[in-house]
């Protein structure tokens, strides 16, 4: 298997607290890898180690097959990144910021600036100074900067954090495009699982500094069960009917009105007819599939 990025037993401690504990990540060339975990799980620390911004106590990072160290300049040129809050010179325009970045990187191609501004849809406001940008615009400018030098691999730390739903949707489309159209491999961290679920090919779950699981979204989807979600006016009577009258025992009461039924011997249609016949008022009923969030909590509970 060809991995564009691998970590081997990565360890990092701060003040005797191990915040990254023997982490082994495997990112395949061409994929979008979602690195998920709650706040404080160790995601940013791992990402900083990938970019050599923080040194591991032990373990190694390999990117493009090369062991990353303080002199991996050539390797770094092939990587784009956003780590923590992207900083810009606020009093100048987005375009000027990109020009400065080109100079800093020794990359002289002004046409590329036009290309990336268009790609992130900032071409019409390129004259605006950055201090007047919205959060979403700044995030898009950060992506523009990260892809300016045509990287093969993008490392994005919580890039959709603090964006509104429209901004998140735009980012999702942009990431898909960068991945599919331009073949960029993307390693993206997020704690917004519903988003990761929509774009990732592989998901790595980290908690308390430990990588608990790496799975492909295909396998996760295969393992996800269907169930019937039911909302009723009388939960205890509905529960009684399911068990005593319809012989359905595999269900879970989720709240004062909601039940999840995993035993699918009766269809949604049959079940709603039976409940109504027995005087239960149904607010809603339908088939559901477990989400990445359910999978995530299942993995975390197993530990
Ligand atoms: P995440 O990105 O998943 O939210 P982080 O990698 O930022 O998690 O943090 C993991 C843990 O390491 C947290 O407990 C955090 O407080 C701690 N940590 C991160 N950076 C430092 C630092 N420079 N000094 C001390 N502790 C740190």
Closest-lying ligand 1 atom to the alpha carbon of residue 45: 6
Backbone angles phi, psi at 31, to 5 degrees: -105, 170
Tell me which of 11, 45, 162, 193 to substitute to probe ligand 1's pocket, judged by most ligand atoms within 8 Å of the beta carbon: 45
Examine the pLDDT at 280 and tell me if it is beyond 80.
yes
The confidence score (pLDDT) of residue 191 equals 86
| Residues flanking ligand 1, CB < 6 Å | 14, 19, 37, 39-45
Atom 5 of ligand 1 has which residue's CA nearest to it?
42
- Threshold 0.75, pTM exceeds: yes
pLDDT tens digit sequence for 83-107: 878 889 999 999 999 999 999 888 8
Atom 23 of ligand 1 has which residue's CA nearest to it?
14
How far is the centre of ligand 1, averaged over its atoms, from the C-alpha of 151 (Å)? 27
pLDDT tens digit sequence for 30-89: 999 999 999 999 999 999 999 999 999 999 999 999 999 888 888 888 999 998 788 899
Cα gap 136→155, rounded to integer Å: 18
The confidence score (pLDDT) of residue 202 equals 97
Q: Is there a contact between 40 and 229 (Cβ–Cβ < 8 Å)?
A: no
Radius of gyration, CA atoms only, the chain: 24
Examine the pLDDT at 26 and tell me if it is beyond 90.
yes
How far is the centre of ligand 1, averaged over its atoms, from the C-alpha of 19 (Å)? 7
Closest-lying ligand 1 atom to the alpha carbon of residue 37: 3
pLDDT tens digit sequence for 147-172: 999 999 999 999 988 788 888 888 89
User: Which pair of tokens denotes residue 272?
Assistant: 């709603």
Q: Is there a contact between 22 and 11 (Cβ–Cβ < 8 Å)?
A: yes
Closest-lying ligand 1 atom to the alpha carbon of residue 209: 10
Cα gap 261→238, rounded to integer Å: 11
Closest-lying ligand 1 atom to the alpha carbon of residue 38: 3
Atom 19 of ligand 1 has which residue's CA nearest to it?
45
């Amino acid at each position: 298997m060809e991995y564009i990025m691998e970590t081997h037993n990565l360890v990092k401690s701060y003040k005797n607290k191990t915040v990254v504990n023997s982490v082994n990540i495997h990112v395949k060339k061409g994929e979008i890898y979602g690195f998920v975990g709650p706040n404080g799980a160790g995601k940013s620390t791992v990402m900083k180690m990938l970019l050599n911004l923080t040194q591991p106590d032990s373990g190694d990072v390999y990117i493009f097959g090369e062991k990353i160290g303080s002199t991996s300049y050539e390797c770094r040129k092939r990587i784009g990144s956003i780590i923590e809050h992207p900083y810009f010179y606020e009093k100048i325009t987005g375009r000027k910021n990109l020009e400065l970045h080109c100079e800093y990187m020794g990359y002289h191609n002004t046409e590329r600036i036009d290309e990336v501004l268009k790609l992130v849809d900032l071409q019409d406001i390129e004259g605006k100074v950055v201090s007047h940008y919205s959060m979403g615009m700044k995030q898009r400018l950060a992506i523009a900067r990260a892809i300016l030098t045509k990287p093969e691999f993008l490392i994005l730390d919580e890039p959709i954090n603090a964006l509104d739903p429209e901004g998140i949707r735009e980012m999702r489309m942009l990431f898909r495009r960068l991945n599919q159209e331009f073949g960029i491999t993307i390693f993206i961290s997020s704690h917004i699982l519903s988003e990761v679920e929509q774009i990732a090919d592989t998901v790595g779950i980290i908690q308390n500094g430990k990588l608990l699981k790496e799975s492909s979204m295909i396998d996760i989807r295969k393992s996800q069960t269907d169930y019937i979600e039911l909302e009723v006016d009388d939960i205890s009577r509905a529960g009684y009917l399911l068990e005593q009258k319809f012989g359905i025992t595999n269900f879970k009461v989720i709240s004062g009105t909601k039940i999840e039924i995993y035993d699918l011997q009766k269809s949604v249609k049959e079940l709603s007819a039976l409940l109504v016949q027995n005087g239960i008022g149904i607010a809603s009923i339908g088939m559901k599939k477990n989400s990445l969030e359910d999978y995530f909590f299942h993995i975390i509970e197993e530990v």
